[in-house]
Structures are given as C-alpha cells and as structure tokens.
Amino acid sequence: LIRQINSLGLNENILLGGTVTLEEINELIKNSDIGIVPYVDNFYMNLALSTKTLEYAACGMPVVTTRLQTIMSIFDNNSIAYTYPDNPEDIAQNVIKLCLNPALRRNLTENAFKTLTGISWRVMETRYLNLINSIISSEMVENKVVNTDKPIIGKKLYNKVL
C-alpha cells in the first residue's frame, strides 16, 4: 500500500497512522467530515451489512458508500450518497459534491439519522417480541391450548432468558 501511494505521488494526500486504540478511532470519526465506505460488489457483500455505514450515520456524518443491496434496503437515496461499485471517480464526485453543498450534507445526515431511529434496538426489540408473541399465540390457538390476547413473552421474561 505504501509503495502504491508513493508511486501515485499521493504521499501528501494519504496518511497511514498505524495502529490506533478504540478511543482514538472515536476521535478520528468525530473529527471527520464525511464517512466513505467503499466496497466491492459481490455476492457476499450484497448479503453482509456494513456497520461502519450505520456508525457514521449515527455520528451525524454524511456517508458515501457503494450501492449494495443490504444498505440500500435500509437507506434511501435521500439518506446516503451512493456510488457505483468499483468506480473511484464516482466516489470522488460524491465527496466533492458533499464538500461543496452544506445543505445536501445536512439533509443526508438528518434523513439517515431518522432512518436509524426506525431500526434502533428498542424498536427492533418490540417488533421481535411482537412477532414471537404472534407466532406463539397463533400456534396455541391452532392447537386449542389457550385463547388469549395477552402477550405470552414480555420484557420481564425476555430479560430473564438473557
């Protein structure tokens, strides 16, 4: 990587800082203006979910990332600056566009954060427990075990299981 940076004459533009602690990573992210998350477009990456994109969005940072199925299933075009896979020019154009347009940065950041609140742990916990309760309830009714509207599993039982 160092040889490639040198051969391309990018020594002044790219800094490789070596190993950093988690606290230092947090500071680096807080001091950044744009989160860039480029990935190759392959079978695996279209199934995997990059937490880095979620982390940048949670930090209130606009994100430039590759158009992959998983991330596009969460964030729409009004939340993320999407790039085409394997296209460094597209990444650069998105970064330049964000640098030159503070309103766009703000809109993407706000929309991405709103999207994140819809998939927070609290929201997903409720959805998950409701799903489990509906499955258990329907199985109990089908098997004529009991007919109830009350939740079968709630937070108290769920927390005891954990």
Cβ proximity of 35 and 53 under 8 Å: yes
Q: What is the DSSP letter of 44?
A: T
Average pLDDT, the chain: 85
Check residue 110 and give its pLDDT. 97
Beta strands across the sheet bearing 81-83 = 35-37, 63-66, 81-83
pLDDT at residue 70 above 80?
A: yes
pLDDT of residue 145: 52
pTM over 0.85: no
User: Where is pLDDT greater, at 144 or 97?
Assistant: 97
Residues 6+ apart with CB under 8 A from 46: 68, 69, 70
Which residues, in sequence order, are CB contacts of 101 under 8 Å at separation 6+?
A: none
141: confidence class by pLDDT, cuts 50, 70, 90: low
Cβ(82)–Cβ(65) under 8 Å? yes
pLDDT at position 152 is: 52
Report the pLDDT value the prediction gives residue 114, as an integer from 0 to 100.
Answer: 95
Q: Which residue has the higher pLDDT, 50 or 68?
A: 68
